[in-house]
Structure 1
Amino acid sequence: MQKNLVKTDKSIGSVQNITLIAVIAAVYATITFVIQPFAFGPVQLRASEGLNHLAAWHKRYIIALGLGVFIANLVSPLGWIDWIFGTMGTVIMTSITYLATRRVKHAVTKIVISSVVVATIGMAILAAEFTLAFNIGASGAFPSGSNGGLFAQWLAYYLSVMPGEVVSLIAGGIVIYALSKMVDLSK
């Protein structure tokens, strides 16, 4: 009899994980769609990026955010490049966030670590994506404004996306911090 209860509890856990993954993916995509004119391009304010902090609490959010980014990027002017590299960048940076914060208990510390990872590694990947798209002449690509070589282009893209990302991370950090005080995000 107890074995059945254990299986039931595990299946509830799986249903809960799948539900949370779907909800976070939908929230990410919805926020991005609503602010679509500001969510894409060399200067962007993608408020949904504030949700990246969730990866500091549970690995399920890596999948949720990756899926949310993929869905949101279906309307990206860069098309398939953003579908692949945008999603891959999110999975990489949220995985690093999760690994770097696994043993951290303090919410503010988790958010600070997450912010550093996303703003450095995540935006470096995004800048590389933009550099690639422009240099292969991808549809929807835009110039960096740099007259230099690949590194100068990458740096120009990096510096153009960083301010909006920092704003999104600060706003998201405040929301996620408040949420972490009301709900155990690790469960």
Structure 2
Amino acid sequence: MRNNTVKVLTIQALIAAIYVVLTVAIAPFSYGAIQLRISESLSQLVVFSKKYWFPITLGVAIANIFSPLGIVDVFFGTLGTGLALAISVLVFKFVKNRIARHIVNIIIYLVVCMPIIAYEIAIFSGENSARVPFEFEAFTAIYGLLLLSQIVVMVIGIVITEALNKAIDLKKVFE
């Protein structure tokens, strides 16, 4: 039992670290209203096991420490990702087809996480990350840009995780 706990924690730490490295390595593109956060493709791992929820959420929290918005991004980004992935995990109890799960995960992410991030950016992206008045037009523009980038990285995530699943059974990684 103890060996399995150590194995699970080690794998989760590695996944969180991969998320952080993928985010910080391309930092100018990982933060802001226009972002192409390749690390978000790892969010498709929850399709295979709910045990991927924690390391991805932790990875977001750590990666967002390096964001220009700092602690604000740690809070909002972690909240958005954690909530979206938790809802996906709950919905997956009723969706057995893996491709359908991938699509559901993308939809939930776009509907739950991206509005939270768009709100954060719309409110806290003023000079020196100061709070600015909410403007619906700014929010919708940011949300639209985030939707486009998130769809791209999540589709890439499907390709990557499905290929990885052929090499390694992603359901059994934590066993």
Identity of aligned residues (%): 34
SS in 2 for 1:139: helix
Q: Which residue of 2 aligns with 1:72?
A: 63
Query: Which amino acid in structure 2 is aligned with residue 161 of structure 1?
Result: L
User: Which residue among 41, 45, 48 is the counterpart of 2:39?
Assistant: 48
SS in 1 for 2:24: helix
Alpha-carbon shift at residue 149 of structure 1 (Å): 5.8
Q: Deviations over 1:27-59 (max 9, x none)?
A: 100001111111111111000001111122222
**Alpha carbons of 1:184 and 1:97: their partners in 2 closer, same or farther (altered >3 Å)?**
same
Query: Which amino acid in structure 2 is aligned with residue 100 of structure 1?
Result: V
Q: Which residue of 1 aligns with 2:9?
A: 18
1:181 aligns with 2:166: yes
**Alpha carbons of 1:70 and 1:154: their partners in 2 closer, same or farther (altered >3 Å)?**
same
Alpha-carbon shift at residue 91 of structure 1 (Å): 0.5
SS in 1 for 2:128: coil
Contact 2:123-2:134 within 8 A present in 1 as well: no
More deviation, 56-65/23-32: 56-65
Gaps of 5+ in 2: none
In the aligned structure 2, how far is the partner of 1:19 from the partner of 1:71? 16
Alpha-carbon shift at residue 141 of structure 1 (Å): 6.3
1:151 aligns with 2:136: yes
Query: Which amino acid in structure 2 is aligned with residue 154 of structure 1?
Result: F
In the aligned structure 1, how far is the partner of 2:162 from the partner of 2:131? 35
Contact 2:122-2:134 within 8 A present in 1 as well: no
User: Which residue among 171, 174, 178 is the counterpart of 2:156?
Assistant: 171
**Alpha carbons of 1:63 and 1:149: their partners in 2 closer, same or farther (altered >3 Å)?**
closer
SS in 1 for 2:35: coil
Q: Deviations over 1:86-122 (max 9, x none)?
A: 1111100110111111343332112111111112211
Q: Which residue of 2 aligns with 1:37?
A: 28
TM-score (norm 1): 0.83
User: Which residue among 52, 70, 87 is the counterpart of 1:61?
Assistant: 52
Q: Which residue of 1 aligns with 2:84?
A: 93
Contact 1:57-1:102 within 8 A present in 2 as well: no
Which structure's CA Rg is the greater one? 1
In the aligned structure 2, how far is the partner of 1:107 from the partner of 1:142? 41
SS in 2 for 1:43: coil
User: Which residue among 111, 123, 147 is the counterpart of 1:120?
Assistant: 111
**Alpha carbons of 1:106 and 1:141: their partners in 2 closer, same or farther (altered >3 Å)?**
farther
Alpha-carbon shift at residue 126 of structure 1 (Å): 0.7
Contact 1:77-1:141 within 8 A present in 2 as well: no
1:133 aligns with 2:124: yes
More deviation, 80-89/148-157: 148-157
Aligned length: 172
In the aligned structure 2, how far is the partner of 1:105 from the partner of 1:16? 27
Contact 1:107-1:177 within 8 A present in 2 as well: no
